[in-house]
Chain A
Amino acid sequence: MLEKGRLSTRQFTVLIFLSCIGDMILIYPSAISSMSRQDAWISSLLGLLGGLLVLWLMLHVSQLHPDKTLVEAIQLIFGKWLGSIVNLWYLFYFFMLCSYLVREVGDFLTTQIFLNTPLKIIYLLFILLMVYALHAGLESIGRSSEILLPIFLLVAMIFIFCLLPQSKPENLKPFLENGAIPVLYGAYFASIYPFGELIVLLMVIPYVKREQKIKKDIIIVALGAGLLLSLIILVSLLVLGVDMTINNTYPTYFLAQKINIGNFLQRIESTMAVAWLISTFSKAVICYYAFTMGVAQLTGLSNQKILYFPAAIMLFGMADLAAPDVLYYLKHIVPYWMDWDLTNAVVIPCILWITWACRRKWKGKS
């Protein structure tokens, strides 16, 4: 076992909540609304159900070898050579995920708040923070996410409740204008995008203290995260309307600029940005951990702490290379990324499950 620390169930569920929301706050409303227009909230709720199914599948696969991480389990089930190839695929996925998260944070901050700052400085700060968090250990990450969760929830609640007075229900009409197919396509999107990327948590799950109700807790927490995302889309549609939600680069930030309670509580959007940073940071830390842990387990190292700094430099470089500009990852790559997520979160785990079941049957026979 490379990792000596253990997370309590509560810390793990908090990490799931924050990772599920992750960078979705920034890109989810405009992405889903561009597919299902003003029925995006229906898509989001339907997608929540689909996402819970995806999550259930991933949890089931993780229980096939309860004390092995995803990388180790793939090595065991697929064998040495095929397992290594699949693991390389997954490590590439974790690495690109992490660099995309860093890139999104950098783009968001330099578009809205720090207009003149070069991107690399933001990457540097963010990556150094992640390295510091990881050096402190998995348990520290769990504990600090427990502390950060109330801040995040407070900001999210202020955001939602302070915007409800400005909502216009007629923005949601007409219902199902283009029929059910765009809504279903949006629901497919909504189920894969946030929940598919939770596969990284399969690298952390062996280090959670075993308790009976863990599966139920995880499903409940993911349900809460999905509901929060649906609420955010709903608020965005109610207050801004369809066209502004689709066209805006960061609709939630634009919404936060509109908060105005009695001319007293206004212009608090930079404080709102803290919440987005908290959730993206939690997800990025977990992806980083998954990547380094995966490399360590794939190559059979005895200590993965030595990999944190080299991976930091890799991230620093890749964050710039990952996408040439903002429109690339907000519009162009989205269908391909969804297919990639689908493969990694559903297709490969299904194949894993089937292979494991077949292997057991053959072993049972012989």
Chain B
Amino acid sequence: MLAVLLVLGMVAVVAWIELPNVFRQRQWKEVMVIVLMLLAGASFSILSIILYKIQTPLVLIEVIYEPVNRLFGQWFS
């Protein structure tokens, strides 16, 4: 629980550092990108703290390349 609060604290600190400047200059695209990345970062960190076991994003890569590997294995063996 403490760790989750710390992560949220870090996110808040980063937002406080970066966002005011960007707001002042009215760059809405930057704001959106920063907010998106902060959300992604917060969700990754909180997931890694809370959940005990989680699938890695590289299962995507495994799924994509498994047929390729099998094909090459058949050609070469």
Binding site for B on A (CB under 8 A): 92, 96, 181, 295, 299-303, 306-307, 309-318, 320-324, 328, 333, 335-337, 339-340
Contact = CB atoms under 8 A, between A and B. Distances in A.
B68 A339 contact: yes
B37 A299 contact: no
Of A310, A315, A317, most buried by chain B (CB within 10 Å of CB) is: A310
B30 A303 contact: yes
Contact of A333 (B14, B48, B62): B62
26 contacts: A92-B57, A295-B33, A299-B33, A300-B29, A301-B33, A303-B30, A306-B18, A307-B37, A309-B14, A309-B18, A310-B41, A311-B41, A312-B41, A313-B38, A314-B40, A316-B45, A317-B42, A318-B44, A318-B57, A320-B44, A322-B56, A323-B58, A333-B62, A336-B69, A339-B65, A340-B61
Given A317-B47, A324-B53, A336-B65, A310 B58 contact: no
B46 to A, nearest CB: 7
Of A299, A301, A336, most buried by chain B (CB within 10 Å of CB) is: A336
B11 A336 contact: no
B57 A322 contact: yes
Given A301-B29, A336-B65, A321 B38 contact: no
Given A306-B30, A321-B56, A311 B48 contact: no
B43 A310 contact: no
Give the 7 A-B CB pairs with smallest separation, nearest first. A317-B44, A313-B41, A317-B45, A310-B37, A320-B48, A314-B41, A309-B14
A322 B7 CA distance: 18
A144 B27 CA distance: 33
Contact of B45 (A303, A313, A322): A313
B22 to A, nearest CB: 6
Contacts of B76: 181
A310 B14 contact: yes
Given A317-B44, A322-B56, 18 more contacts: A300-B29, A301-B30, A306-B34, A312-B14, A313-B11, A314-B37, A314-B40, A315-B41, A318-B44, A320-B44, A321-B44, A321-B56, A333-B61, A333-B62, A335-B65, A336-B66, A336-B69, A340-B61
Interface string B6-31: 01001100100110011000010110
Contacts of B29: 299-301
Nearest to B51: A321
B54 A310 contact: no
B20 to A, nearest CB: 11
Contacts of A301: 27, 29-30, 33
Nearest to B33: A299
Contacts of B43: 317
A119 to B, nearest CB: 10
Contacts of B54: 321, 324
A211 B23 CA distance: 41
Of A301, A324, A337, most buried by chain B (CB within 10 Å of CB) is: A301
Contacts of A336: 58, 61-62, 65-66, 69
A337 B60 CA distance: 11
Contacts of B57: 92, 96, 318, 321-322
